[in-house]
Amino acid sequence: MSTPNLLPSSSIPGMFADTEEAMVMDSDCLDDSWMRRPLIPITIPEHLTFNPEEERARLHRQYLLMLEQAFSGTDSNTGIEESDETDAFLADEFRALDLESPTDEEDIANFFNGITKDKDYAPYPNKTTALLDILDNLPRLRLSTSQMQMILWLLKETGATDVPSYKVFRQLQADLRELCGSSPKAYTSGLGNHFYVNDIRDSVARDFSNPEIARHLQFYPEETDGPISEVWQAARWKEFSPAQLTPMYARGLRQFYIEELAQLKDGSYVIPHNWIIRDKILHADCTDASFSPEGWTVSSTTRSVAASEFELNFEDIVARLGDSDIVWKDKTTIPEMPNPLRKLAQGDDLYVVMIPVWADDVSGNKSKQYNKHINLYMVNSCLPGHLLQQEYFIRFVSTSPHATSPEQFSALRDQVRPSFLHSETETNPVRCFNAHTKRPCRFILRVPSLPADNPQQSEEASHIGGNGNMGCRKCHTGGPHEHTESDFGYDALHYEGVFRTAQEIRDELQKQLRQAMYGVEKTVSDMQTATGVKDKVAQHWIEQLLAKAKDLKQADPSRSIESVAEELQKWFDDQPGDKINPLLDIAGLDPSQDTPVEILHTILLGIIKYIWHMVHTSMSDTDRDLFAIRLQATNIDGLTVPPIRAAYMMQYRNNLIGKHFKTLMQTMAFHVHDIVTPAQFRLIKAAGALGALLWVPEIENMAQYLKDLDTLIGNVLDAFGDVDPSKILIKIKLHLLPHLLSDIRRFGPAIRNSTEVFECYNAIFRLCSIYSNHQAPSRDIALKFCGMDRLRHMISGGYYWSDGDKKWVQAGKSVLDILHSKPIIQRHLGWVAPTKLTPGLIRMKSKKKAIPVEWSMTKASEYSTRLNVPLSSLWRHGTTVTAQSGDRCAIGSWVIFKDDAMSDLYYVGRVYELLIHEQGASSDATQLVTLESFNLGDSLHPDFDCPVLQRVDSLGGKDFTVIESKLIQFIISVQHDCRLMHCRASLLQPQVQERQIMEKTNHAISHSDDEHFIINMFALHNATLLRKALPRSLTTPRPLYEDRRAHHAEIASLLRTTQAVKRAQTQEKRKATLASNRAKKQAAEEARKEKAPEHDGEYEGEMISDEEEAEESHDEQIPPPRKRRRGGRGTGRS
């Protein structure tokens, strides 16, 4: 029986499907009884007759409100599952008002032929369509279909010309996507899930053709004795073979490939074997080649040659000497010439691009209702690390509410793998336009790392997870409790173990698959438990093989296990799709080692979160109030954290997020005295010191840095052992800390692998998800990201191929001016424009507030003995000064400064006065800073292990120093020594509500003096610069225990006793629970049997509870309704 659809269909794209409407049914409609109800026709009362003019007025008011929300950037957008029905009603009302008349291809052509075109806005027809496209593709300001239609309607109503209809506008965007963008590609995984993928090759090609990006791309590994800040300066890129890295250096139209004969400017011949940057200059490691009557020979020694010394490449030499004249004496040691890569490049420059890929599960909703999607993003790690922290450089790859990350990685693998040059049958490298060199080039893709949180990285590494016996994805540490609680096993958890490898994982998965063919599930499970190797893709096949083996054995019990396994092996080999983790097929990628430890989830949401829980759960209510008061009194200047809301953090202490833990990590140690135990205090200090060393953008001395880091990691683990020895057994994040050492050595500073920028990018994904009609979310979201990428490319000056001009072109001049001249567009696109800082520049107060004063009236005049300043000269007071580091330092800021530009000595002071010379008078300096002078102590604070500061007195008063503003080096965080001076919460401060000062008051800390301070060594900002300025004696980490292994053995001895007691208690609880459940079940069964005779017949109006209905309907597997009447109308239950 066909049921007519009484619901109105929508013709508006992006809101509802053209032929289907999403229906949300109440729980009372879970059965099919509603389909048997008679259809009730809907009649509209006459007094509700539609009036177009009234509706226009009402919709105009509605539009003004929506327009204000859209342009103010407020987050008023909600998803379908959490919105009212406004959009749905507006869709129908738009049709009633005939705002969107039917449009065919002829109408679209007439629009483009009838408008005035402006070539400065090419490829847009004019300014109006360009601005509308920008408005529709701003990542963090998404507009619904209704809102966009209202904007178009408003433009027409105000008399604007050349305004397209909605369908014409969408057609224009489709044409632009075809011209200079890309479209998502459909993909069906081996498990049968369908989703869409944005081709990463298109994304990388746009990077090359974007002048804002291409000029920053770095293609060669670098050896440096100086600071290490980028991944290409660390060891990871050097692990690839020279053939897997960028194989050539181009000068003009001439390419010099590795493993090819080349001639230098001095006339000598060499064979370069790799390209590498040394001392900021590109070099090649070469062996000399020479000609002899017997043939060409190659020396056995290698020397480094600058790229600028190369003169002729192999093609030039062949053209000059002839191919027949290049005969090698020992052909077995000579590589093939020309390099096969040269042929694949077909005369274009050839580059290798590194693309780390991030994956995680993300909710598609903004509400608390979870709407799971698995997302993949990527970045181009050939770009400097500071750029990759901007949303502008993040690229969306794919999403799906159905396909798992291995399934989506399989699609990515298929995009990457043809670019890997394993054989001559592989596809040519991807061709694109290089905006930096202004000529075509080709590129090959590599995946060097997989940043993600720990559970996701375990999945990518085919690992059983952190709760398994072998809980580490990177090494073989772990085992049953008999081992981990032994002296040796417990100690091993505090260090890196024997590393896993991709080949080892691959072999183990093959063993599990083979074992599954024998039909014994426990054997496979035991293998997974013993090795920690468990793969989602392989598990899909293991379950099928176990089931098939069981069926075959039951069908013929006399059949041997070997014959069953042999048949299943043949069946398994014939099955299409991936059999194991597709990431194991990507050359040069080892998912077990190339999943670097991520500090957001491991440190902030791991270590600091554990500590915070320990601390606040052990506090009394009085202690919590005191801690909140102290935390609120923190001097946040120099910390780069948002204003602290201590009362909020304490009220919602179990629901804090990353930014709160980052604040606590840097400040908690100064506020917990007399509240926590000595062991907890040591742990808080150790974690703060570790965090300050991890959040550094560059590493000055890698060997020294790793040595210090090893000590600090050991201190954190040992301090955890003192507080809770069992923590490292159940929290894998503690064991992962030692792996930071090898990850930093391979990938550079830990913050380069932080996923905070990806987590922020999820907000853009959610907006795309909310405005999808949820019929094809993977396609809709991918398509929207294609539009945003296209817009970003166009207004950034990206090149695209013009079929009409037969060349690579850019958008019109007016389009290119938008990004650089409109800061609001920069912010919405997530692009941070380069800023030109002027160190030493003092920002002056407004002229109304900055009244000129004579030199003699300033504090500087009393202490500037070295400056020749006329007493009558006029000066204005400033508000901030820019330090050499780019920090803006205000009055009261603590800074590191020099007293002379050529000096290597650093001093600490507090900004007291900023002066700017009034033009017209002569002096030695025009911008001066007056600083309060403080002495740096020779030893660390006995409690906080931080350097101490004490004011310098001058004749019984304060001492000051006057310097030129350009001598300010950087800002630091300094806290008052409240513990030493016994500062109390004795101040009362009025509350501020709604920007009004209230009569209500809050307690605040009253500092006992202004003389004693502590340099905050737990601060993240300028941590590297601070340690460079201070004496090494004040910054060298000191281990908590000199003999760590002995300490671990002592803890393990206590742990075995406590764990045995815990297991016994757990066993008793389990037995008691089983007995209780068994008794309840038996009592319920007896009660049901006693009531069974009463259930025959009819009942009038008797109510059945949820529990009774659930038990009665259990055998039928029908979800129980909340409450219903049985009988009621004289009919019994059949």
Q: How far apart are CA 1055 and CA 906, in angstroms?
A: 48
318, exposed or middle or buried, with CB in 10 Å at 0-12, 13-18, 19+? middle
Residue 933, pLDDT above cutoff 90: yes
* Co-location of 987 and 863 in the same domain: yes
Residue 89 — pLDDT band, cuts 50, 70, 90? low
- The pLDDT assigned to 1125 comes to 40
Query: Which of 719, 754, 789 is at the close of a domain?
Result: 754
- Identify which has the larger pLDDT, 836 or 59: 836
* Co-location of 739 and 611 in the same domain: yes
Dig out the tokens for 616 from the structure: 């606040």
What are the pLDDT digits (tens) for 614-632?
999 999 999 999 999 999 9
What are the pLDDT digits (tens) for 159-196?
998 899 999 999 999 999 999 999 999 999 988 999 99
* Co-location of 544 and 664 in the same domain: no
Dig out the tokens for 967 from the structure: 């001598």
Total domains present in the chain: 5
* Co-location of 172 and 303 in the same domain: no
Whether 50 is covered by a domain: the verdict is yes
Q: How far apart are CA 686 and CA 216, in angstroms?
A: 38
Measured between alpha carbons, how far is residue 334 from residues 296, 300, 328, 337 in Å? Answer: 10, 12, 8, 8
* Co-location of 570 and 611 in the same domain: no
Q: How far apart are CA 544 and CA 550, in angstroms?
A: 10
Whether 897 is covered by a domain: the verdict is yes
Residue 1104, pLDDT above cutoff 70: no
Q: How far apart are CA 502 and CA 884, in angstroms?
A: 46
Dig out the tokens for 353 from the structure: 């691009």
Contacts for 93 with CB less than 8 Å, ≥ 6 apart: 55, 59
* Co-location of 890 and 977 in the same domain: yes
Q: How far apart are CA 220 and CA 231, in angstroms?
A: 11
Range with lowest mean pLDDT among 419-428, 442-451, 748-757, 887-896: 419-428
Residue with tokens 């600071």: 227
- The amino acid sitting at 839 is P
Contacts for 521 with CB less than 8 Å, ≥ 6 apart: 546
Residue 797 neighbours by CB distance under 10 Å: 17
- The pLDDT assigned to 161 comes to 86
For 32-78, the DSSP string reads SGGGGSPPPPP---GGG---HHHHHHHHHHHHHHHHHHHHHT-----
Residue 447 neighbours by CB distance under 10 Å: 24
- The pLDDT assigned to 79 comes to 39
Residue 864 neighbours by CB distance under 10 Å: 22
- The pLDDT assigned to 25 comes to 37
Query: Which of 697, 731, 754 is at the close of a domain?
Result: 754
- The pLDDT assigned to 1093 comes to 60
Q: How far apart are CA 139 and CA 756, in angstroms?
A: 17
* Co-location of 557 and 615 in the same domain: no
Whether 349 is covered by a domain: the verdict is no
What are the pLDDT digits (tens) for 529-550?
999 999 999 999 999 999 999 9
* Co-location of 610 and 570 in the same domain: no
What are the pLDDT digits (tens) for 314-328?
999 999 988 677 888
Whether 450 is covered by a domain: the verdict is no
Mean per-residue pLDDT for 952-962?
78
* Co-location of 80 and 161 in the same domain: yes
- The pLDDT assigned to 295 comes to 86
Whether 1018 is covered by a domain: the verdict is yes
Tell me the three state secondary structure of residue 1042: coil
Whether 356 is covered by a domain: the verdict is no
Cis peptide before 852, with omega less than 30 degrees from 0?
Answer: no
Q: How far apart are CA 694 and CA 501, in angstroms?
A: 26
What are the pLDDT digits (tens) for 638-680?
999 999 999 999 999 999 999 999 999 999 999 999 999 999 9
Per the CB < 8 A criterion, the answer to whether 111 and 77 are in contact is no
Report the CATH number that the domain containing residue 998 is assigned in CATH: 2.30.30
Measured between alpha carbons, how far is residue 87 from residues 407, 431, 491 in Å? Answer: 35, 44, 61
Residue 34, pLDDT above cutoff 60: no
Q: What stretches of 1007-1072 adopt beta strand conformation (E)?
A: 1012-1015
Whether 415 is covered by a domain: the verdict is no
Per the CB < 8 A criterion, the answer to whether 162 and 126 are in contact is yes
Whether 974 is covered by a domain: the verdict is yes
Residue 1091 — pLDDT band, cuts 50, 70, 90? confident
Residue 50 — pLDDT band, cuts 50, 70, 90? low
Residue 917 neighbours by CB distance under 10 Å: 20
* Co-location of 563 and 603 in the same domain: no
- Domain of 282, in residue numbers: 248-338
Per the CB < 8 A criterion, the answer to whether 910 and 894 are in contact is yes
Residue 91, pLDDT above cutoff 90: no
Q: What stretches of 941-1021 adopt beta strand conformation (E)?
A: 947-951, 953-954, 957-958, 960-964, 968-972, 974-976, 984-993, 996-1006, 1012-1015
Question: What percent of the chain stands above pLDDT 70?
Answer: 84
User: What backbone phi and psi angles, to 5 degrees, belong to 348?
Assistant: -90, 160
- The amino acid sitting at 172 is L
* Co-location of 59 and 158 in the same domain: yes
Residue with tokens 């000059």: 320
Average pLDDT value for the chain:
87
Query: Which of 977, 1003, 1034 is at the close of a domain?
Result: 1034
Residue 78 — pLDDT band, cuts 50, 70, 90? very low
Residue with tokens 């008999």: 482
- The pLDDT assigned to 92 comes to 56
Contacts for 140 with CB less than 8 Å, ≥ 6 apart: 73, 763, 764, 767, 828, 830
* Co-location of 571 and 603 in the same domain: no
- The pLDDT assigned to 953 comes to 77
